[in-house]
Every structure is written in C-alpha cells, then in structure tokens.
Amino acid sequence: MIDTSAAAPTFDLARQGRESLAEMITIREFESRLPAYAKQGLIRGSTHPSVGMEAIAVGVSQHLTATDSIASNHRGHAHCIAKGADLGRTLAEIFGRRDGYCGGKGGSMHIASAELGILGTNGIVGAGIGLAVGAALSAQLAESGDVAVAYFGDGASNQGVLAEAFNLAAIWRLPVIFICENNHFAQSATFDEMIAQPMVSKRGEAYGVPSYDVDGMDVAAVSDAAAAAISAARAGNGPTFLVADTYRYLGHMADDTEIYRTREAVEAAHARDPIARLTKRLIDGAVLDDAELEQIHQDAVRAVDAAYAFADASPFPAVGTAFTDVEASA
C-alpha cells in the first residue's frame, strides 16, 4: 500500500525559509525573462521555462551535496540553478555562447556540469531516468554515500525506461530518488488524456519502490519529503519515488499558443503559487518584513541583470569547435 502522507515535518522556517524564498525568486526572475530573450533572437532552438514549478528544484536540492548527481529533462534550468549552477554560465549556454557550461554547444536543453554533479538536462523524454540509475549504481559500488536524483514529468512517466529503472533500483537498493513533476501536461496533452490511473505514485508500488505524493507548490512539503527520501538512500535503504503535483504558468515553450488550456485555469493555479505561499508564511511568522522582501527581489533582478551582461558579452564558439567534444577520450 502506498503511504501518501507527508514525511515528518522538518522544514525550519527561520533557517530554510529565507534561503528557499530567495532561490525561488531568483529562478523565477531568470526564467521569466527567457520568452523575451527568445523573441529577440538570442536563443536558438526551443527553451522551456518552469515558472511556477520552482519549489521542487529548491526543496530537493537543499538536501544534496556537490558530489550528489542529478539528471534533468528539457525543462531543467531550475534544477541546475538550485544545484549550484552559475546564472551567467547557464544563460550563456542557453544563448549558445562559448562561456556556457557546454561551450555553447548544448543550448537550453543540454546543460551539463560534472563538477556540480549535473549529468545533464536532456531533450530526450525520460532519458535522464536511466542516467540517474547509472549514477546511483556507481555511487553504490564506490561506497561514496552519494545519491542520484532523476527529474522527469508526468508525460515521461509513461516511458518504458521508468519501469526498468524502478525494477533495477529496487532489487539492487540503489541510492536514487525518482521525482515526477506532475504539471498536468505533456506538451499539449492533458494528464487525463495520457494516464488512466490518477495516482502516478502507484507505479512505484508495483516495483517495490516506496512512493509518496507531495504538494509540489509547497517548498516546505517538498523539502520534508526529499529529506526523508535522500536520508533513506544514503542509509542504504534504496530508492524512493516522489510525485510532486505542480503547474507551469507559461506555455510548453516560447511561442506556444496554449490553445489546449484556458486562461482561467492558469490563473487558478496562481492561487497555489509557491513563492506567494512561502512569503505569507515568513511574514506571518515574523521571519521576514516587507523591506527585506523587497531587498530579495532587488537582489534577484541584479543577479539576473549580471547574468545577462555576462552571457550577452560572451562570443559564439568558433566554427572549428564543432568538430571537438564529439567523442569521449579513452
């Protein structure tokens, strides 16, 4: 039977609240500018902001170390930033510039950093799931104590790789946390059109993977669930599957017509906004005042302004580099 109750509350509002709020506001400021950058022609190819979904990346990453691994998806900027990626280098990669994490070759959907434990955002739906299981097996064999996290969406939960990953992770008790960000859309297909069983978490139960549903618009709830899952993985107790209910405010990608949903539905989702909810808790709890909140917003604007200046000044990679990095050295 799936235990859908939240893990024991451990989120310290005073200690973790301010940091979580600042991270979410910075990520939102960063991603909210991407559609305009795309219209200016600064981004080649597609980009997929996760505005509205910030609580998941922030709540999970605050329990990860630099040597833990994450494998992300096409909507992975927030995952990378929360894991420690520099804003300037991230935006430079999105712009296809030389100073990006992959030298401008990866673009928005293929950001990787070995030193940060970022195995890569990934344009192949569900592909990161297998990568995370491989990283978890490596950590287990090396007895490093590290864990791996696989981020994927509700659409990717239909990919066959998830079934194989669940099985291997369960029988080998691998230190991996599977995180499904259920934002209710696989591009333009609604959740109800794709999945008959409304509880995606039951798919973990079938393979013996402890599974939990969590409010993905509440950073405290995500943090508590992630803390329990990551602690269990480090202790050798194997994988956990978290299904975080969330919503993306913007379209699937830049220039999405969004004819598959109504404006009223998007506006209704704002009532659960993770930043507004945490802000209210911090102010009601006398942890934060209006002046400090304004300072956090101003700091985020300055940080993203600086990131833009860095990325815009970075040159495009030289044509000759198109033929480097195409194969791994022995």
pLDDT at 136: 98
Contact predicate 18/288, CB 8 Å: yes
Residue 274 phi, psi dihedral angles, 5° rounding: -65, -35
List, for residues 147-167, the tens digit of each pLDDT value: 999 999 999 999 999 999 999
Q: How far are the Cα atoms of 79, 121, 241 from residue 153, in angstroms, in the given order? A: 13, 13, 13
List, for residues 23-66, the tens digit of each pLDDT value: 999 999 999 999 999 999 999 888 999 999 999 999 999 999 99
Model pTM score: 0.95
Task: Give the burial class of 235: count Cβ atoms within 10 A of its Cβ; 0-12 exposed, 13-18 middle, 19 or more buried.
Answer: exposed
Q: Which two tokens stand for residue 201?
A: 């978490």
- Using alpha carbons, select from 156, 92, 83, 147 the residue that is nearest to residue 120: 83
Neighbouring-strand partners of residue 211: 241
* For helices 13-32 and 87-94, angle between their N-to-C axes, nearest 10 degrees: 30
Neighbouring-strand partners of residue 178: 150, 241
Low-confidence residues of the chain, pLDDT below 50?
1-4, 6
